[in-house]
Amino acid sequence: MTPHCPNCGKEIGHLTYSANEIIVAKFTKDGKYVDETHADVDGKSIEYNCPECSESLFRSEADAKNFLTGKLQEAKTYGP
Ligand SMILES: [Zn+2]
């Protein structure tokens, strides 16, 4: 069963993940970034948003996964 967004009510099969990540790379004289690695993620910036209305729905992977798999009965929303 496909979950519905608690904000816009549309069926959503996935969420949009966004986070501020610190990326470390070698910057060369050619102006290229080489060997990029994701050194760290700002945990406070992690958001799982509805792809339809962009509402921020979850802040933890566990909640997001439970929502998508239907294990979360009622979605907890954050913010106003
Ligand atoms: Zn929505």
| Tens digits of residue pLDDT in 18-57 | 999 998 999 999 999 999 998 888 889 999 999 999 999 9
pLDDT class of 79 with cuts at 50, 70, 90: low
Distance from Cα 37 to the centre of ligand 1, integer Å: 32
Distance from Cα 15 to the centre of ligand 1, integer Å: 10
Q: What are the residues whose beta carbon lies below 5 Å from ligand 1 (ion)?
A: 5, 7-8, 50, 52-53
* Max Cα distance, the chain (Å): 54
Residue 75 clears pLDDT 80, i.e. is over it:
no
DSSP per residue, the chain:
---B-TTT--B-S--EEE--EEEEEEEPTTS-EEEEEEEEE-GGG-EEE-TTT--EEESSHHHHHHHHTT--SSPPP---
